[in-house]
Structure 1
Amino acid sequence: MLDTNKQEQKSTIKLVRGCPVYKVFGDERLCVNDDKVLEIEAIEIDPSIFSFHYDKESMEEERATEGTVCYASIYINYPNNKVYCISQGWVLRIHGKDVPGNDLEDAMQFLSTKEITSNAEICSECLYKFILTLGDTFTDLLTEKEKTEEVKRYVDKFSLMIAVKHSQTDQMMEPIGTEEDIENGVDHFQFLRSYLVQLLDQQSYWSRLGQELEGEGADTWIRNLVAMREKLARLEFQFYSQTLQLRDINQFNILIKMLQYVLKTSDEIIELNNTIHSEIRSNRFSQLLERDDRLEILSGYGEKSRTIEHNFGNILQILTKL
């Protein structure tokens, strides 16, 4: 039997749930691929059932044998950077242009907190709007006002998703909710409020501990580690404050300038997070825990650290395209 990891490494496709040219109007299900309007028989299938396929040629076997059946699922073919319909085998096209696979992957990264290697469960309309708003291929198809509103909506949703995930992985926090809460619609500020309060509590906690350690004459590297953890909580608070300010901006050029501050903060968060993560994995930190249990809470920071690296890495990758 072939090793599963080796099989996955050889895969040249990526399965995606959702399709940017799949439209729902009331009871009607339509395909608008290549600017045509086709009534379809939608059968929404989890694309993971096709995960045993590893290239475009084998995926061709999954084409529907008759009619206009739609699985509302697609796949990226990496060798030619094109996106294909699983059920019909068509290349996806919007306004006379092929949908690039890398634009679709950008959409998946930005709109989901799941790892990019997972099968995305993203609504088709979100994929469509993202590709038109932030994708390189279709930048001239929306007005600046439309782009402004879409970018604000993406940042709104993504910042909420990050806060939810971080509150679930931070041992010093209580979870503020779930991704389902976001999908069901929540008041942005009220939802974030409990997370922001907990970030302020963290700043106070690490500040007090830093003062204690300084009074005890602790080693410089220990005091620096605690100071970095305090700064990280402050930068996270700053990030959410900046994203909240975006909601009041209605001009695209001003929005872009404001996003530069968001990007700068995100970059600082990633750099600081990596430094903290490296330190808590060091031998000297392990030895420190044996004699000072006040820093035990930092030993469990690894999970949140990985989440921060992934989510803020996505922000940098996507928003730098603007």
Structure 2
Amino acid sequence: MTLDEFLSTGEPTENVRIVAATLLTIVSVFGSIFNTLVFVSLLLRVKKKDGFLKICCAKSFGNDIVCIGYLFWPIPVTFFNSYFLPHMFNAFMGQLVGWFGWSIGPLSQVLLTSNRVLAVFFPHLYHKTYRVAPSNVGIMICLFLSFLLFAAFFPEGCHYLYNLKDIGWLPEQSLCTSIRRSIFIVSMIIIVIVTSVCGFLLFFRLIADANAMSTVQSTSRRSKNQKILFQTLTQNMLILVDTLNTTVTYKLFPVLFFQFLTLSFSMVFLRALEGFIMFKMNERIDKGVRSLLGLKTDQLKNLQGAQSVMIWAVSSTSRHNN
């Protein structure tokens, strides 16, 4: 295999296809494992009034659709070098993976940010008893909007298709997809800016609250607040990078392998990475996954987590209706 094969701008060679399909398989399998563990562990242990974990569960569900969807369509198509099913199945998978599954992530990020803002800045509203939990309403709206994106662009000419020539997802060339792309980019940038600003505001507010505590509590709280900010900004960055990759970045260089990385690999890799981040950065999700796998949890870490007053712990208490 030569370097010229990876720097080519024409049809992908067999070696390039095999390498691409292998990379997609690896990240899709790991992404499916991480997100499925998070999803199942939360589904089994989430409480009726636990808004934060319910939103995380919805987010991992969307990530899982993307990762598992790759195993059903792009990967075998790339390995076989053939669209072995009718054109409409390609269109269906593009809508399912590229719109329904993908859009749940950014919309869930808005819900997570709203959940934290409500708990910190408007505790009287957060602790209020609701007939229908706001988090449930938010999740239903998120799934409805994602389904709307899935169904709204099925007419011929509006499809989002997996393209073997570019080893990636590309929209059909039409006015429909041009308008949709413009709206999509603007919407994602707005989501990233708003959630990032809210993340910083939450961080500084929680730091200020931590200063009123004892030294031990303040140190623990500050460390956990830094994790909150890091997770928020990281997930926002993943949304922005993926948005730019699939709309702008892939056009910068005509190199085939670069287009593969931005059009196809990026989407599933970032979903896998987000599943890993949710697992590692959230102690309650980490504990749930370990419990699901039958692993012992560090008792000291649990004790410290129980002693600290943390927004994630606040958002999960059974007394709350969010």
Q: TM-score, normalised by structure 2?
A: 0.40
Structure with bigger gyration radius:
1
Structure number having the greater strand percentage: 1
Structure number having the greater helix percentage: 2
